[in-house]
Amino acid sequence: MGGLHIISEFFSCGNKKILKDRSRLQKEVEEIVNATGLSAVGSLFHQFEGEGGVTGVVVLAESHVSVHTWPERDGFVNIDVFVCNVTQDNTEKAREVSRKLKELLKPGNDESQEVMRK
């Protein structure tokens, strides 16, 4: 059941408009998931009022990708990518999702950790 779990914090994201654009962020995250060959089974993204950000998750047959944005806090974003390796090794797909999210959001600084779950 194990797989790679990537936990990231992005600081000072350069692509600030997308941090408070629910429909665009959802579309981009879903496209990233599809481009890597993972199997999305559903998604839910919520836009907070005012200058608030977006929280969203794409549920995968392999597990999930979640994104939480705080544009009002200097473009801060939490990313969570967990991909199980039940039928095949999806480790590189998880890393590719993480890389593409970083390219999309353009953080000035980021901290990530990889945890191999058993």
Q: Does 68 qualify as catalytic in the annotation?
A: yes
Within a 13 Å sphere around the CA of 81, how many CA atoms are in the beta-carbon half?
26
Q: Are strands 76-84 and 3-11 parallel, antiparallel or unpaired?
A: antiparallel
Q: Which of 12, 43, 66, 68 is catalytic?
A: 68
Q: Does 63 qualify as catalytic in the annotation?
A: yes
Q: Does 64 qualify as catalytic in the annotation?
A: no
Q: Which of 8, 13, 64, 84 is catalytic?
A: 84
Contact status, residue 2 vs residue 84, Cβ threshold 8 Å: yes
d(C-alpha 96, C-alpha 55), whole Å = 21
Q: Which of 8, 13, 63, 64 is catalytic?
A: 63
d(C-alpha 50, C-alpha 74), whole Å = 15
As annotated, the active-site residues are: 63, 68, 84
